[in-house]
Structure formats: C-alpha cells, structure tokens
Amino acid sequence: SSSMASVCGATLALMSAGVPITNPVAGISVGLVKEDDRWVLLTDIIGDEDHFGDMDFKIAGTQRGITGIQLDLKIRGISAEIIRATMAQSREARIQILRKMLTAIPRPKSEISPYAPRLLRTKIDPDKIGALIGPGGKNIRHIQETTGTVVEVEDDGTVLVAGTNAEWTQKAMDMIEACTANVQVGKIYDGRVTSITDFGAFVEILPGRDGLVHISELSDGFISRVEDICQVGDEMKVLVIGVDDHDRVKLSRRRALAELGIEDELATAAVGEPEEGGGSGGRRHRGDRGGDRGDRGDRGRGGRGGRGGRSRRN
C-alpha cells in the first residue's frame, strides 16, 4: 500500500529532520478474500490483491497502539471475528516494520540540518514594535534583505522569522533582539563609530541607539584629538557607564578594554608622542623652560631695584 508506505516514510523524514516525536508510526494494509464462510487475510496487499480482493483495511500506529484506520469494503460487511484477526495480524506486521525503521534511525536527530528551513518565534515588548519596524519600515526591511528571511510582527509583540537555513535565520533573530533590547549599564558592547566631535565620539551600540564616548573615556593616555583614536565607521568595544535622565547613553572605551584585559596600544602611543615633541609635548617642554626662567629670574632681580628693595626689607 503506497499510503501506508507514506506513513512510514513521513515518520522517518520527521525523525531525520530532528522533530522530537515520542513514538514512531508505521502503517500496514490488510486485505481479505472471502467466499461463503471461508476467508483469508492478506498482509500488505499489492495492486491485484486490492483489485480482486474484498477488503482494504489500512491501520497505522505505534508499538503502543493504533493511531488511525481506514476501511474499504467490496462486500456487505465483515464479522467481529475478522476484525479481531485483522487487528492482531496488522499489529504483528506493524511491530516488524517499526523494528526495521528504528534500525535505520533509532531516535530523532538532535540537530537539524543547517540547510533545513527554519521558523523561529520570539516575543518583544509591544512598545518596541515601532523600533523594530523603523521609520517607513526601514529597520525590518533591512533585516529581511540582509538575511533573506521573512519577518512578521503581530500586535501583541509576537515575532515570527522564516528562513531557508539556520545561520541566516538566527542572524535575523539576533538583529531583532538588538533592535528591541534595552541598554544595560555595565555591559560591554561591540559598537561602531557613527560621528566624531571635538569632545568625543558617538558610537552605535544597538540598531538606532548610540551613546557618547567622551574624549576622556577614549584612552588612559593623553588625547589631543579624537581622530587620533578612531574614525567614523571604526568598530569599538565600549562599556555602558550610565544613562542619564534624558535617556542619553554614556560610554567608555578605556574601561571596556581594562575590563576585558586588552592592552590599549593607542594609549601607549599617545603617552609616547609628547616625549618626541608632538601634540601635548609642548606642555612638557614649557615645563623645562620654566627652569630656564628661574635662572633668568635670578639674573633679572639684581637689575630691578623695586623688587630688590622689597627683598632687602624682608
């Protein structure tokens, strides 16, 4: 029976795909040839037996019981005895088929093929739906075009993501969570520099959400210009150090690197530059000149009588 073969094949396909079914299902078709009071049951009938026979009794089930039946008769009816015999004979055949199936695939696979279609579901705060969709659908369209998935958002915050493979479907889910996530103080983010000012750099840590890294939080070394540390488009690890009453995010690059145990090579370079006479090095050299002024001051005080007189009164 092709229909019962389909039952067996569907079970194997589900198990191969990793669907966690509790018990495999097999099916068998039992036929009947009856003349007067004499009758014979035929297991797993083929075309001619179905055509010339008197019954096609399809029975599907697990090793624990029956899950579905279908009965086609060409005679007026069958007795309870025939029904009981059919059930017993079909069970024996079904158990034998299940043994063969479990030999091929003992249990559902723990992992689905990475190329198998995926349908993922998540729930977001309904107040975040606007942030996910974006102005004119910009954000959700970007997610779909980037990952090749289909994203549907329901009014209660349920989000469905359909994709053709695991990697890109999960990527879409990550982008959705990033769009709707709340900024967490004390968390380190992988951000991207979006703009630079004289007093710091703005870094995007979540889609559509950025914060300011003040110039003093860029590096432990002396920084004369923000551009010495970063440029627009650069990736940067930042630590959220606060969110003010106006929901403005304050970030720190130097604290993020310190917490991660990463050496700030730019800080080392920044400290070394002044010794070579560049940037802030002029300040240190002015300190040296201050010593020279002291020597000149000693020479000058002898020629400035007013100051010298005050000194003598002391």
CATH number at residue 255: 2.40.50.140
Asked if residue 6 and residue 97 are part of one domain, the reply reads yes
- Residue 24 reports pLDDT greater than 80: yes
The pairing of beta strand 209-214 with beta strand 188-197: unpaired
CATH number at residue 124: 3.30.1370.10
CATH number at residue 46: 3.30.230.70
Segment 208-265, tens digit of pLDDT = 788 999 999 998 888 889 998 999 999 999 999 998 888 889 999 999 999 999 888 7
More confident residue, 280 or 75: 75
The verdict on residue 280 lying in a domain is: no
pLDDT of residue 208: 72
pLDDT of residue 116: 78
The verdict on residue 301 lying in a domain is: no
What mean pLDDT value characterizes the chain?
84
When pLDDT is averaged across residues 153-165 and rounded to a whole number, the result is 93
Are residues 118 and 162 in contact, defined by beta-carbon separation less than 8 angstroms?
yes
Asked if residue 133 and residue 97 are part of one domain, the reply reads no
The verdict on residue 30 lying in a domain is: yes
pLDDT of residue 277: 46
When pLDDT is averaged across residues 155-168 and rounded to a whole number, the result is 92
How far is Cα 105 from Cα 82, in angstroms, rounded to an integer? Answer: 34
Residue 142: pLDDT band (50, 70, 90) is: very high
pLDDT of residue 186: 92
Asked if residue 93 and residue 68 are part of one domain, the reply reads yes
Asked if residue 41 and residue 61 are part of one domain, the reply reads yes
Asked if residue 132 and residue 50 are part of one domain, the reply reads no
**259: Cβ–Cβ under 8 A, 6 or more apart, which residues?**
188, 239
Asked if residue 135 and residue 213 are part of one domain, the reply reads no
The verdict on residue 51 lying in a domain is: yes
The verdict on residue 292 lying in a domain is: no
The verdict on residue 209 lying in a domain is: yes
The verdict on residue 198 lying in a domain is: yes
Asked if residue 194 and residue 166 are part of one domain, the reply reads no
Asked if residue 65 and residue 26 are part of one domain, the reply reads yes
Asked if residue 165 and residue 139 are part of one domain, the reply reads yes
Q: In angstroms, what CA-CA distances link 220 with 159, 195, 216, 249, 267? A: 43, 21, 8, 20, 6
How far is Cα 163 from Cα 175, in angstroms, rounded to an integer? Answer: 14
**Of the candidates 65, 42, 62, the residue with the CA atom closest to the CA atom of residue 54:** 42
The DSSP-derived string for the chain is -HHHHHHHHHHHHHHHHT---SS--EEEEEEEEEETTEEEEEES--HHHHHHSSEEEEEEE-SS-EEEEEEEESSS---HHHHHHHHHHHHHHHHHHHHHHHHH-SS--SS--TTS-EEEEEE--GGGHHHHH-GGGHHHHHHHHHHT-EEEE-TTSEEEEEESSHHHHHHHHHHHHHHHPPP-TT-EEEEEEEEEETTEEEEEEETTEEEEEEGGGT-SS--S-GGGT--TT-EEEEEEEEE-TT--EEEEHHHHHHHHT---HHHHHHHHHHHTT-TTHHHHHHHHHHHHHHHHHHHHHTT-HHHHHHHHH-
How far is Cα 297 from Cα 314, in angstroms, rounded to an integer? Answer: 18
Asked if residue 157 and residue 127 are part of one domain, the reply reads yes
Residue 47: pLDDT band (50, 70, 90) is: confident
pLDDT of residue 308: 42
Segment 99-119, tens digit of pLDDT = 999 999 999 988 777 777 889
The verdict on residue 217 lying in a domain is: yes
More confident residue, 23 or 294: 23
Segment 261-301, tens digit of pLDDT = 988 876 655 544 444 444 444 434 334 444 444 444 444 44
Asked if residue 83 and residue 124 are part of one domain, the reply reads no
Segment 298-307, tens digit of pLDDT = 444 444 444 4
Residue ranges making up the domain that contains 39 = 2-104
When pLDDT is averaged across residues 146-170 and rounded to a whole number, the result is 93
Asked if residue 167 and residue 98 are part of one domain, the reply reads no
More confident residue, 134 or 162: 162
- Residue 3 reports pLDDT greater than 60: yes
How far is Cα 89 from Cα 60, in angstroms, rounded to an integer? Answer: 13
- Residue 123 reports pLDDT greater than 50: yes
